[in-house]
């Protein structure tokens, strides 16, 4: 199964290494190794209960078996001798033992220890049969010997001498159009059942033939009406069975010695076609009628069904043979990620345990410049990414239920059943149509298998471009705009997957340059008629390929690999190994000793420890990563990644209207970059604009926009302008080049000057339509183009109170002279390339008087016959008038003075004094504040 998991990722691995880096001949040394490790993520995994008896539960989770002997409270890993890659429920469980039948024999598991003993069918030399074990318990088995069935006793891990089962055939009912024979077994009897069906497949009757397990005669066969839902011996003298005839579901107990049955209807279902499931776990009978569940305990002999309160839950039980003698296991809902419950007396559901936690196996990896993208087997394929710096960072989930995921610079492509989703720096930006497979991803280009027998290519920029470039032959890898393809054929066979003449070929083409075509001859020693390409990779000017050849005489298959230099036009020496990835100056190879990083120029290798053929691998510029059964390992490869960054792709408009330009290119490169610039030159080669680019750790340059203006601020003339990306690698390896490794990265912008029509002033409004004096109002304007020059004219009534161009005039402070008047603003917009436009706002309501924001009360101090007032400042500043009053109870107040100071008179003796401060300001409502003394005493 490890090899199957590896094959699933083979195509993705071929593409996952086409992400970053180039090709220099750096030697891979054994020293200065940087390595980081992180354990695989542990998550709840789909859990299958294999068998349960009492408090012992044997469960399967993620290719391993766990045993609990305390009802699910604690678990330990065990090896019961069962298939770790596929687990079903046991065929039989009783008294702490479980029996599991396979095509090879029967395994009996002790549920107290989790150990198993397997009895092999081989020594019996039975005649071949499609399903050799017809039924089994932990003591006896019914085996098929050609057309007959025999019974064999299990003891000490082997089968005893087989004894033929002699069936008792009852007369066939007249209405029976077909018969179906079934077999089952328990500790008391073996059973042969014959189901009789009408031509419409309706079950009319079932024959039950119970036979002894030692070869002696068993009870007489008998027939029941309708379908048999359950059959098991209660003891050596009684059988329990449940039938369904029409709408009636009945439980019967048969006295095998007397040959009589006593039956009682358990439940009547709504219709004769309504599905019904009956299961017996220990002494507890479970009945499912559509979504409702019922139970009874037959220990006392009777059975009165009681409804199980589900409280909105949907239940699904395990098979009969899981068997818990006291507490049947029930799992809520489906999918294996829900808790497991037991049906306790009442009946009530009692939670036993949650799905078990296990490591999520990594299915595939893909290396970005500064991150590792992978997908594992949780939730049908969870895609995640981890940042890489001085170690392996925390996991961030991108998607669930994915089939593949590849990274390139700051981009990620995720394939799901519904299509390919593209992410730019973790943000979903677009989604493509459903494809057969995601094969490669480099910069903005995704290599897709669209399921038509051809491999097709599509690019995207924010949204899918919608155009697919048909690539000739069998497309294998992509690096920027370069595509590695060809044909892959075996001599005289129909395996040719291209338009070739029956030979294996390799060729590199370019998506953007139809004249670029580099046929690659196969290495000496590789026959194009008898070899095919097992894997191929493209990185810069290097092609790496593994060739599989079969010896015509012996049929023996060999795999050999080599690396081709596109510049020199030569292959390196063939290696007895297969390649798993290609990086910047190295390749990842697998041979009889395991995995290694291989300098394909010097021939030196760096052995990777703790790996085997099932390990998932990906290669980056100078870093590789692999995952095994326990952890993810990231290693820096010494001496690798020394070449300068190359541009994998540029996404952006081909041109723009100078008067309405928003040229925003996106650059994807192979390395982390320092801050740089995009230089734009006019048709005469003169620099007209320099745009700054920020440093980036993921190799993707974003946030660059040209507005069609020169560095002096004016709009440029029409013509073909050239742009050039000038940026250096953050590691000092050089300045960025084109995908070919030599050219200066650049391109053309076709600039036009197309008149935009009248400026669109879609909205002009005053920020507040109920203004007051001293309030600052602003003009709310919506227009296109947004960079038009605006002139603002403010009106108070019919009088212009403010006018001017620019933001300084976009606001107006209401004056006292505006009191009672209605205000409005008129905006005029002008811009080169457009016709001017003017639009006014609606008038406001009449300007209201403002209110003082801070009206402070005076503070009074009495000192002998003098009273002094301190008046704090008001906000805003006001003209203040002070008036003193004498207050005598029962009399009207009397004005006695003004100003801040007052001298007591004899008439003031015993009275209280009050000071009222009145504030006024133009355009403001008059306000007052006051303070009062206590009774004062006049001193003669």
Cα Dmax for the chain: 142
Residues 6+ apart with CB under 8 A from 355: 44, 45, 46, 47, 61, 336, 337, 338, 339, 340
Dihedral angle over CA of 841, 842, 846, 849, nearest 10: -40
- The arithmetic mean of pLDDT across residues 483-502, rounded, is 56
Pick the range with the lowest mean pLDDT from 3-17, 146-160, 286-300, 404-418.
3-17
Query: String of b and e for 119-142 (b: at least 16 CB within 10 Å)?
Result: bebeebebeebeebbbbbbbbbbb
Strands (E), 246-356: 248-255, 260-268, 276-281, 284-289, 292-297, 306-307, 315-317, 329-332, 340-344, 348-353
Give the bridge partners for 222, in sequence order. 208
CA 274 and chain centroid, separation: 39
58-88, pLDDT tens digit by residue? Answer: 999 988 999 999 989 999 999 999 998 877 8
DSSP assignments along 233-256, one per residue: ESSSSEEEEEEEETTEEEEEEEET
Amino acid 816: pLDDT = 97
Report helix, strand or coil for 379.
helix
29-52, pLDDT tens digit by residue? Answer: 444 558 899 999 999 988 888 998
> Which is higher by pLDDT, 75 or 390?
75
Give the bridge partners for 757, in sequence order. none
**Banded pLDDT at 460 (limits 50, 70, 90):** very low
- The arithmetic mean of pLDDT across residues 387-397, rounded, is 92
CA angle 414, 375, 460 (to 5 degrees): 15
To the question of pTM greater than 0.85 for the whole model, the response is no
Give the bridge partners for 800, in sequence order. 795
Beta-strand relationship, 631-636 and 623-627: antiparallel
What is the SS3 assignment for 505-521? EEEEEECCCCCCEEEEC
3-state helix, strand, coil in the chain (%, to 5): 5, 50, 45
Give the bridge partners for 590, in sequence order. 578, 595
Q: Give the integer Cα–Cα distance in Å for 581 and 611.
A: 15
Report helix, strand or coil for 393.
coil
- pLDDT of 495 over the 60 cut: no
Amino acid 609: pLDDT = 65
554-594, pLDDT tens digit by residue? Answer: 778 889 999 999 999 999 999 999 999 999 999 999 887 88
**Banded pLDDT at 351 (limits 50, 70, 90):** confident
Amino acid 20: pLDDT = 32
Report helix, strand or coil for 742.
coil
- pLDDT of 297 over the 90 cut: no
Backbone phi, psi, residue 3, to 5°? -65, -35
Torsional sign, CA 452, 456, 461, 467: negative
| DSSP letter, residue 769 | S
847-879, pLDDT tens digit by residue? Answer: 999 999 999 999 999 999 999 999 999 999 999
Amino acid 8: pLDDT = 28
Pick the range with the lowest mean pLDDT from 139-153, 418-432, 773-787, 805-819.
418-432
Nearest to 413 by CA among 424, 772, 381, 520: 424
**Banded pLDDT at 327 (limits 50, 70, 90):** low
- The arithmetic mean of pLDDT across residues 888-910, rounded, is 94
- pLDDT of 471 over the 70 cut: no
Residues 6+ apart with CB under 8 A from 168: 209, 211, 220, 221
| DSSP letter, residue 706 | B
Q: How crowded is the C-beta side of 642, counted as CA atoms within 13 Å?
A: 12
| DSSP letter, residue 474 | -
What are the C-alpha distances in Å from 828 to residues 761, 776, 793? 9, 21, 8
What are the C-alpha distances in Å from 398 to residues 384, 539, 877? 5, 27, 61
684-732, pLDDT tens digit by residue? Answer: 999 999 999 999 999 999 999 999 999 999 999 999 999 999 999 999 9
| DSSP letter, residue 728 | B
Burial of 474 (0-12, 13-18, 19+ CB in 10 A): buried
Percent of the chain with pLDDT over 70: 90
Nearest to 532 by CA among 482, 476, 571, 584: 476
Q: Give the integer Cα–Cα distance in Å for 606 and 601.
A: 14
Residues 6+ apart with CB under 8 A from 113: 67, 78
- The arithmetic mean of pLDDT across residues 329-345, rounded, is 72
Contact criterion met (CB below 8 Å) for 321 and 89: yes
Amino acid 592: pLDDT = 79
**Banded pLDDT at 323 (limits 50, 70, 90):** low
**Residue reference for tokens 């709009």:** 715
Amino acid 529: pLDDT = 76
- pLDDT of 295 over the 50 cut: yes
Q: Give the integer Cα–Cα distance in Å for 138 and 107.
A: 8
Residues 6+ apart with CB under 8 A from 237: 255, 256, 257
- The arithmetic mean of pLDDT across residues 905-924, rounded, is 95
Contact criterion met (CB below 8 Å) for 833 and 753: yes
- The arithmetic mean of pLDDT across residues 307-321, rounded, is 71
Q: Give the integer Cα–Cα distance in Å for 686 and 683.
A: 8
What mean pLDDT value characterizes the chain?
A: 87
Pick the range with the lowest mean pLDDT from 399-403, 529-533, 733-737.
529-533
What are the C-alpha distances in Å from 184 to residues 140, 142, 189, 394? 11, 8, 9, 52
Q: Which helix (H) or strand (E) holds 15?
A: helix 2-16
Give the bridge partners for 277, in sequence order. 288
> Which is higher by pLDDT, 469 or 135?
135
111-128, pLDDT tens digit by residue? Answer: 999 999 999 999 999 999
Amino acid 610: pLDDT = 53
Tokens encoding 598: 């291989």
Q: Give the integer Cα–Cα distance in Å for 845 and 823.
A: 8
- The arithmetic mean of pLDDT across residues 164-186, rounded, is 91
Number of Cβ within 10 Å of residue 171's Cβ equals 8
Q: Give the integer Cα–Cα distance in Å for 546 and 14.
A: 11
**Banded pLDDT at 146 (limits 50, 70, 90):** very high
- pLDDT of 384 over the 70 cut: yes
**Banded pLDDT at 388 (limits 50, 70, 90):** very high
Amino acid 332: pLDDT = 58
Contact criterion met (CB below 8 Å) for 875 and 854: yes
Amino acid 777: pLDDT = 97
Count of H-run helices and E-run strands, the chain: 1, 81
Percent of the chain with pLDDT over 90: 64
- The arithmetic mean of pLDDT across residues 259-283, rounded, is 88
Q: Give the integer Cα–Cα distance in Å for 855 and 875.
A: 7
- pLDDT of 456 over the 80 cut: no
Tokens encoding 259: 């040959």
Beta-strand relationship, 203-211 and 222-225: antiparallel
Tokens encoding 612: 């085997």
């Amino acid at each position: 199964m490890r090899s199957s998991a590896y094959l699933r990722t083979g195509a993705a691995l071929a593409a996952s290494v086409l992400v970053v880096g180039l090709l220099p001949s750096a030697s891979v040394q054994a020293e200065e190794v940087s390595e980081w490790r992180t354990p695989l993520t542990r998550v709840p995994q789909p859990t299958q209960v294999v068998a349960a008896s009492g408090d012992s539960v044997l469960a399967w989770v993620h290719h391993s078996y766990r045993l609990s002997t305390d009802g699910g409270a604690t678990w330990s890993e065990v090896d019961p001798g069962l298939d770790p890659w596929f687990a079903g429920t046991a065929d039989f469980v009783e008294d702490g033992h479980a029996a599991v039948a396979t095509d090879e024999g029967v395994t009996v598991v002790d549920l107290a220890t989790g150990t198993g003993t397997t009895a092999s069918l081989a020594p019996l030399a039975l005649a071949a049969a499609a399903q050799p074990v017809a039924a089994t318990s932990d003591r006896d088995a019914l085996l098929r010997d050609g057309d007959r069935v025999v019974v064999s006793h299990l003891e000490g891990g082997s089968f005893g001498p087989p004894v033929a089962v002699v069936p008792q055939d009852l007369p066939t009912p007249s209405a029976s159009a077909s018969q179906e024979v079934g077999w089952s077994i328990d500790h008391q009897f073996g059973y042969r059942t014959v189901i009789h069906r009408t031509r419409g497949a309706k079950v009319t009757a079932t024959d039950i033939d119970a036979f002894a397990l030692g070869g002696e005669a068993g009870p007489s066969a008998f027939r029941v009406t309708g379908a048999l839902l359950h059959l098991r011996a209660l003891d050596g003298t009684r059988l329990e069975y449940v039938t369904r005839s029409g709408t009636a579901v009945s439980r019967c107990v048969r006295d095998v010695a007397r040959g009589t049955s006593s039956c009682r209807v358990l439940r009547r279902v709504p219709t004769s076609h309504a599905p019904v499931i009956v299961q017996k776990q220990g002494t507890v009978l479970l009945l499912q009628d559509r979504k409702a569940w019922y139970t009874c305990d037959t220990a006392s002999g009777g059975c009165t069904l009681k409804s199980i309160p589900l409280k909105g839950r949907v239940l699904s039980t395990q098979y009969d043979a899981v068997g818990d003698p006291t507490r049947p296991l029930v799992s809520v809902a489906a999918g294996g990620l829900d808790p497991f419950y037991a049906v306790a007396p009442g009946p009530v559901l009692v939670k036993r345990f949650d799905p078990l936690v296990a490591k999520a196996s990594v299915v595939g990896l893909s290396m970005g410049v500064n991150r590792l993208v992978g997908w594992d087997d949780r939730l049908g394929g969870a895609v995640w990414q981890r940042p890489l710096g001085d170690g392996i960072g925390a996991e961030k989930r991108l998607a669930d239920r994915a089939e593949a995921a590849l990274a390139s610079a700051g981009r990620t492509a995720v394939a799901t059943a519904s299509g390919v989703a593209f992410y730019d720096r973790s943000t979903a930006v677009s989604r493509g149509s459903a494809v057969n497979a995601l094969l490669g991803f480099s910069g903005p280009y995704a290599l897709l298998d669209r399921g038509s027998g051809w491999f097709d290519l599509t690019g995207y920029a924010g949204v899918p471009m919608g155009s697919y470039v048909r690539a000739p032959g069998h497309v294998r890898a992509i690096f920027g705009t370069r595509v590695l393809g060809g044909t892959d054929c075996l001599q005289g066979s129909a395996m040719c997957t291209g338009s070739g003449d029956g030979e294996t070929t390799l060729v590199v083409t370019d998506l953007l340059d139809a004249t670029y075509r580099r046929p690659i001859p196969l290495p000496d020693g590789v026959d194009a008629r008898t070899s095919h390409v097992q894997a191929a990779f493209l990185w810069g000017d290097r092609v790496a390929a593994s060739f599989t050849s079969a010896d015509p005489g012996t049929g023996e298959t060999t795999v050999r690999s080599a690396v081709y230099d596109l510049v020199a036009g030569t292959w390196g020496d063939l290696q007895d190994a297969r390649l798993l990835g290609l990086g910047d100056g190295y390749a990842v190879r697998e041979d009889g000793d395991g995995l290694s990083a291989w300098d394909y120029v010097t021939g030196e290798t760096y052995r990777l420890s703790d790996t085997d053929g099932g390990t998932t691998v990906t290669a980056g510029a100078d870093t590789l990563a692999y995952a095994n059964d326990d952890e993810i390992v990231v290693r820096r490869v010494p001496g690798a990644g020394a070449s300068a960054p190359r541009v994998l792709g540029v996404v952006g408009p081909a041109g723009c209207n100078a008067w309405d330009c928003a040229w925003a290119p996106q650059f994807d490169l192979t390395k982390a970059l320092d801050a740089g610039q995009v230089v734009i030159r006019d048709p005469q080669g003169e620099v007209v604009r320099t745009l700054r680019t920020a440093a980036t750790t993921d190799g993707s340059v974003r946030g660059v926009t040209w507005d069609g203006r020169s560095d002096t601020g004016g709009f440029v003339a029409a013509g073909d302008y050239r742009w050039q990306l000038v940026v250096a690698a953050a590691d000092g390896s050089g300045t960025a080049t084109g995908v070919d490794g030599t050219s200066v990265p650049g391109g053309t912008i076709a600039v036009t000057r197309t008149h935009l029509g009248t400026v669109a002033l879609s909205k002009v409004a005053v920020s507040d339509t109920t203004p007051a004096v001293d309030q600052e109002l602003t003009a709310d304007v919506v227009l296109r183009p947004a960079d038009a020059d605006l002139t603002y004219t403010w009106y108070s009534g019919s009088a212009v109170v403010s006018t001017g161009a620019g933001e300084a005039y976009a606001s107006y402070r209401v004056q006292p002279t505006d009191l009672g008047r209605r205000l409005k603003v008129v905006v005029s917009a002008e811009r080169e390339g457009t016709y001017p436009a003017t639009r006014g706002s609606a008038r406001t309501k009449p300007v209201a008087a403002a209110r003082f924001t801070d009206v402070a009360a005076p503070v009074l101090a009495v000192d002998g016959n003098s009273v002094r007032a301190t008046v704090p400042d008001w906000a805003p500043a006001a003209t203040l008038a002070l008036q003193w009053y004498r207050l005598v109870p029962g009399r009207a107040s009397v004005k006695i003075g003004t100003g801040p100071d007052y001298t007591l008179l004899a008439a003031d003796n015993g009275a209280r004094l009050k000071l009222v401060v009145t504030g006024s300001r133009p355009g403001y409502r008059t306000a007052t504040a006051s303070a009062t003394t206590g009774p004062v005493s006049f001193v003669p």
